[in-house]
Structure 1
Amino acid sequence: MARKERKKIIGFVPETTYGVDGLSAENIANGAVMKHVLGREFSITPLAGESQALEYDDGTLGQSAEIMTEVYVSVEFTVDLAASAHPAKAAPWGDLMAACLRRVTENAENSQTVYSIDDDATGSLTLYYYQSGTLHKVVGTRGSLAFNAAAKAFGGIKFAFTGLHVPAEAQAHPAPDFSTWLTPLKIGVQHSSFTIDGTAAKLISLEYDQANQVPYQEYVGHEEVMITDYQPTATMVIEAPKLIELDVFALAQAGEEHELVFTNGSIGNQVVWQSPRVQLGRPSYGEQDGTQTYSIPLRIISNADQFITR
């Protein structure tokens, strides 16, 4: 019987020891439980890495055999831009952020959770990628994230993970529990706001990429996926106001830092992305439904940007 491509589930568990299955007997005894991703665009490369040809001089033409000189796994998926059912608790994707160089801080006093960049974060996950009866377990997983918010859409956070290879095995799918995942709210006039230095702007789209550098390392006696740097960038598209209201060309030339705040949803299902340290790049003209727009690349300075759910 043919395997069904759409039958796929992703589970995840934070690791207490790097590269050790989050659902080891010891971790289960300490209360470890698999959580499941409610998302879309699931993809996996089970045998990523480089190969090297043997290239023997054996008196023949054509190709020689090759061997895999490195093997790791890459997994990508997108989740909704939605918060937690409990404002003071992290969103279901909080543990995923913790494996992408983010510190997750739950604040009961302010009824919110903050996801801030932490240069020294060492969090990792075990991912369980079930594909139509086959389990690809991926340990020591770390990665990067990007998010997009476009008017008249739902927005999303895209995660791209790299982890250590474990041989695939035949295994039935678990029964996933998606009860902690909230339905997203449409981005637009009803639920969303966007400000530049406190002044509202008509946002058409905002794209952000944390751009973590996530190399796979293998030495004698050592194998690890590390996050060695990040170079966050973003692009915003806004309706072009009168020049006297917002001179983006002068702001870009001045090279000063500005505060950007994007908010979607109300308290109880609100997601915020903000940074007080953003340089505006060189604007270009565009159009949307016959109106003038600006597309402006953004340079996100240092580690100042944050996600917030409340």
Structure 2
Amino acid sequence: MATRKYRKLALLAKIEATEGTDSVPTGAADAIQANDVSITPMAGNEETRNLMLPWLGNQGVILTGDYVQMEFSVEVAGAGAAGDVPPYGALFRASGMSETINAGVDVQYAPVSDGEESISIYYIHDGVRHVALGARCNMSVEFAPERIPRFRFTVMGLLGTITDQALPVVDLSGFQTPVAVSSANTSLTLHGVNPVAESLSIDLGQQIEPRFLIGEERILLTDRNTNGTAVVEALPLGTIDWFAIARARTQAAMQLVQGTTPGNIVQFDAPAIEIGRPSQGQTQNIINYSLPLSFVPSAGNDELTITVK
């Protein structure tokens, strides 16, 4: 009897031309290089019968609303050359973002409020393939010094087939080697200053809902509330007064650039960040502030733009 090994995994994702119809991703064209991967192969609900019988005992359940849920991380890195689509681009598009390709320059991703795309995902775990169809995602990302930054995707998809399948040959050559978050590799501007930052996290806040009705079963993206947190070294109020900014509900820009080499740069831009209630702490006996961030649209569907260049 063959023993299946946990670390042998192929993850494939491809945009669907028709939502819920298998787009048949391949290892050669659609492989995702991921880590910290988990799957709930058969999420859903259970309906109990609660029959009144002359005897006691478990009556079993009926499984309803079956879907697949996955979580995994993908390293924040470029596409190899300016204007190339990053190999994780399909995941951004399934996270409710548009893709704009500027040939030879960059590829930009921005939120959309309708026409969100879906993907088919194959999760092939050492000989067993789980298929999720009509899948959509939420994406978050975190930056911390001396760490590799990673996008974190939470995926829901309709339950497809679960079958024995050999691991495919995958081409991961499009995935670039990331650089760690550091003063040399990472720059941050927030409300007109360059804070000394301990961390920055961003969450697209996409609300993904499995919806099972008579005549239609879909995974829908129903709302978006992009937010985040910045932990910054506390400066004199004369330099930057985060408390006054929070009380005035002032909106101003944020930009984070990860990487310095063309072809391996990922840039995050937000035009209108509101600061929430700052909380005070310390690290290594240095005072810091934890700043809640609200990413507010300025002209609509522009609260966060991610540029790969």
The TM-score, its normalising length taken from structure 1, stands at 0.94
Q: Deviations over 1:249-271 (max 9, x none)?
A: 11111111111111111122111
Give me the whole-angstrom Cα distance separating, in 1, the residues matched to 2:120 and 2:12: 8
Q: What is the correspondence of 1:33-52 to structure 2 with a 5 Å cutoff? A: 34-52=29-47
From 261, 275, 287, give the equivalent of 2:282. Answer: 287
Q: Deviations over 1:181-215 (max 9, x none)?
A: 00001111111110123321111101111121111
Instruction: Single out whichever of 71-80 and 61-70 deviates more from structure 2.
Output: 61-70
Q: Secondary structure at the match of 2:187?
A: strand
2:209 aligns with: 215
Q: Is the 8 A contact 1:97 1:115 kept in 2?
A: yes
Indicate whether 1:250 and 2:236 are aligned.
Answer: no
2:173 aligns with: 179
Q: Is the 8 A contact 1:114 1:307 kept in 2?
A: yes
Q: Secondary structure at the match of 2:221?
A: coil
Query: Aligned letter for 2:269?
Result: Q
Q: Deviations over 1:224-248 (max 9, x none)?
A: 1111111111000011111211111
Q: What is the correspondence of 1:46-65 to structure 2 with a 5 Å cutoff? A: 46-65=41-60
Q: Is the 8 A contact 2:76 2:178 kept in 1?
A: yes
Query: Aligned letter for 1:141?
Result: A
Give me the whole-angstrom Cα distance separating, in 2, the residues matched to 1:130 and 1:62: 38
Give me the whole-angstrom Cα distance separating, in 1, the residues matched to 2:281 and 2:294: 20
From 105, 110, 128, give the equivalent of 2:122. Answer: 128
Q: What is the correspondence of 1:292-303 to structure 2 with a 5 Å cutoff? A: 292-302=287-297, 303=301
From 201, 204, 210, give the equivalent of 2:198. Answer: 204
Q: Could you tell me how far 1:51 is from its partner in structure 2? A: 0.5
Query: Aligned letter for 2:266?
Result: V
Q: CA RMSD in A?
A: 1.6
Indicate whether 1:225 and 2:225 are aligned.
Answer: no
Q: How many residues align?
A: 303
Query: Aligned letter for 2:229?
Result: T
Give me the whole-angstrom Cα distance separating, in 1, the residues matched to 2:139 and 2:204: 6
Q: Secondary structure at the match of 1:227?
A: strand
Q: Deviations over 1:29-87 (max 9, x none)?
A: xxx96411111011111100111111111133343321112100011110001011121
From 94, 98, 103, give the equivalent of 1:99. Answer: 94
1:21 aligns with: 22
Q: Could you tell me how far 1:120 is from its partner in structure 2? A: 1.4
1:9 aligns with: 10
Give me the whole-angstrom Cα distance separating, in 1, the residues matched to 2:99 and 2:115: 10
Structure 1 residue ranges, 4+ long, deviating more than 4 angstroms after superposition? none
Q: Secondary structure at the match of 2:244?
A: helix
Indicate whether 1:139 and 2:133 are aligned.
Answer: yes
Query: Aligned letter for 1:10?
Result: L
Identity of aligned residues (%): 29
Give me the whole-angstrom Cα distance separating, in 2, the residues matched to 1:23 and 1:37: 14
The TM-score, its normalising length taken from structure 2, stands at 0.94
Q: Is the 8 A contact 1:275 1:306 kept in 2?
A: yes
Query: Aligned letter for 1:11?
Result: L
Q: Deviations over 1:73-124 (max 9, x none)?
A: 0111100010111211221111110111100111126x11111001113211
Give me the whole-angstrom Cα distance separating, in 1, the residues matched to 2:67 and 2:32: 21
Q: Deviations over 1:147-185 (max 9, x none)?
A: 111111111101111111112100100011100000001
Give me the whole-angstrom Cα distance separating, in 1, the residues matched to 2:145 and 2:113: 32
Gaps of 5+ in 1: none
Query: Aligned letter for 1:306?
Result: T
Query: Aligned letter for 2:285?
Result: G
CA distance 1:240–1:194, change in 2 (3 Å): same
Q: Is the 8 A contact 1:102 1:121 kept in 2?
A: no
Q: Secondary structure at the match of 2:181?
A: coil
Q: Is the 8 A contact 1:87 1:268 kept in 2?
A: yes
Query: Aligned letter for 2:11?
Result: I
Gaps of 5+ in 2: none
